[in-house]
Structure 1
Amino acid sequence: MRISFVHTKGGVGKTTCTIMLAIAAHRRGIKVEVFDADPQASTTRWAQVAISNDDPLEFPVTPITATKLRRLPTVDDGWQIIDTPPGNAKEIQAAIDTSDLVIVPTQPSALDIDRVWPTLETLNHRMVGVLIVRGQKRRRLFNETREIFESQGVATFYNYVPDREEIKALFGTNPQNLFTFDDIAQEILEIPEEAQ
């Protein structure tokens, strides 16, 4: 299965979600490859810093261009997870066009929600799910965000990424605490095969 994290806005947590989901999948015994399609190379840098900290990631992280992504063979026995850049780059479109599942991470904020709609417009031919990041379940805005998407027929993950300082500090590590990412991986595994 190929999974891409896509959002036209930067700073929504695509890189962190990519790494954390990859770790959760790997620790479940799923073969994982991570591809960094963002020219800023944040995912690649995360892996490099983790190595220099003697805390390497348990799977390969490979920079990739849009052209190479379109030629990349899919795997039947694992997950390929792609981190994409913000904006309207050709890398985003290549990731969308070649993915089985597109995850759109978004914070429960008016600006992020507003920028989700243009992202979703490019995804009408792919399976997509919105993942709320930096959420606080008891907050009104969190619940309103979920209701906005569900009222428009946009699938949202039941699980969400909590707003925790510890998550923001994970860059360059191979985290032991996966927070809710193990549950998010399970949600993906439970997607019916015919829907993929």
Structure 2
Amino acid sequence: MSCAFVNLKPGVGKTTSAVWLAHALHESGLSPLLVDGDPAASALRWSELAGGFPFPVIALPVGDVHRRVNDFLGNRQAVVLDAPQLEDHPRIARSIMRYAGEWIVPVTPAPIELDRMAPIRGEMADVQSLRAEPARSAVLLNRTNRPDATRTGPDADAREALTERGFEVLDTQIARLDLYSQSFGNPVRAKGSAYTDFAEELIKRQDEA
């Protein structure tokens, strides 16, 4: 299982999502490798401040990530990749997308964020053409107003708008909570959080594929 968090710009929750998902996978019994592909090395720094994660974190902010990840994989069952923003580091981000079998795009349900989705589709199409097998892609609604999907409100409107534009939207969504937004540098306990549901949904998608 390999999953990459990608977006055009920074500040959308890629690193937070990658770190929390890796912990949720670890707590589910899988053995993840967390790959920090961002030159800012935020995920690696987080692990250092937290006194270490219960799984390895490696920094690979290079343009040939797809060729090098397996050198560090060993017998681990999952790889979570934190990609840098495509607009500033396209070579690294595209290399990460060449490796990962699942591309997750964290999106806040706000009109300005939805308007930025069209260029992402073009980037995905370009990278798909470089792959031997197509990757799966899905949107993760992040920093939502409610923890669960509802039929009304801005979260539901964003879900509907993205679906109409041809994006698959994951059932799981991540609420706007201090538990996530202020967790940088601290130990993570994903059990009971939305990221446990997120991990379970990704594992199910993997099994279905």
Q: For each residue in 1:86-118, what CA deviation from the matched residue of structure 2 results, as whole angstroms up to 9, or x when unmatched?
A: 133211100111110000001011222122221
Partner of 1:71: 68
Percent identity between the aligned chains? 26
Unaligned runs of 5+ in 2: 129-134
Amino acid at match of 2:140: L
Question: Alignment partner for residue 184 of structure 1, among 187, 194, 198?
Answer: 198
* In 2: Cα distance, 1:132 partner to 1:85 partner: 19
Listed as ranges, the gaps of 5+ residues in structure 1 are none
Q: What displacement does 1:159 show?
A: 0.8
Cα drift, residue 122 of structure 1: 1.7
CA distance in 2, matches of 1:192, 1:60: 22
Tell me the matched-pair count.
191
Q: Equivalences for 1:100-115 in 2 at 5 Å? A: 100-115=101-116
- Counterpart code for 2:24: A
Q: Report the alpha carbon displacement of residue 177 of structure 1 after superposing the two structures with TM.
A: 4.6
Q: Aligned partners of 2:208, 2:155: CA distance in 1, in Å?
A: 31
Asked whether 1:159 is paired with 2:172, we answer yes
CA distance in 2, matches of 1:141, 1:108: 7
Match runs of 1:50-65 below 5 Å:
50-51=50-51, 56-64=52-60, 65=62
In the alignment, the residues of structure 1 paired with residue 109 and residue 83 of structure 2 have an alpha-carbon distance, to the nearest angstrom, of 20
Instruction: Find out whether 1:30 has 2:43 as its counterpart.
Output: no
Instruction: Give the conservation status (yes or no) of the 8 Å contact 1:3–1:103.
Output: yes
What SS does the corresponding residue of 2:143 show, helix, strand or coil? strand
- Please state if 1:87 is matched with 2:82: no
RMSD: 1.8
Q: Distance in 2 between matches of 1:115 and 1:95?
A: 20
Contact 1:84 1:92 (C-alpha < 8 Å) held by counterparts:
yes
Indicate the SS of the match to 2:78.
Answer: strand
Provide the C-alpha distance between the structure 2 equivalents of 1:153 and 1:76, rounded to a whole number of angstroms. Answer: 36
Deviations 1:65-88 (CA, angstroms, capped at 9, x unpaired) = 222443322677511111011133
Moved over 6 A (4+): none
Distance 1:94 1:108, change over 3 A: same
**Amino acid in structure 1 at the alignment position of 2:104:** I
1-side partners of 2:197 and 2:98: how far apart?
26
Task: Tell me if structure 1 keeps the 8 A contact 2:65–2:99.
Answer: no
Secondary structure of the equivalent of 1:123?
Answer: helix
TM-score (norm 2): 0.84
TM-score, length-normalised on structure 1? 0.90
Contact 2:114 2:162 in 1 (8 A): no
- Distance of 1:116 and 1:153 partners within structure 2: 11
Query: What are the superposed Cα offsets for residues 111-170 of structure 1, whole Å, 9 maximum, x if unpaired?
Result: 221222212222233210100100023672211110011112211110101011221111
Q: Which letter does structure 2 place at the counterpart of 1:105?
A: P
Alpha-carbon spacing, 1:3–1:46, altered in 2? closer, same or farther (3 Å): same
Q: Does the residue aligned with 2:80 lie in a helix, a strand or coil? A: strand
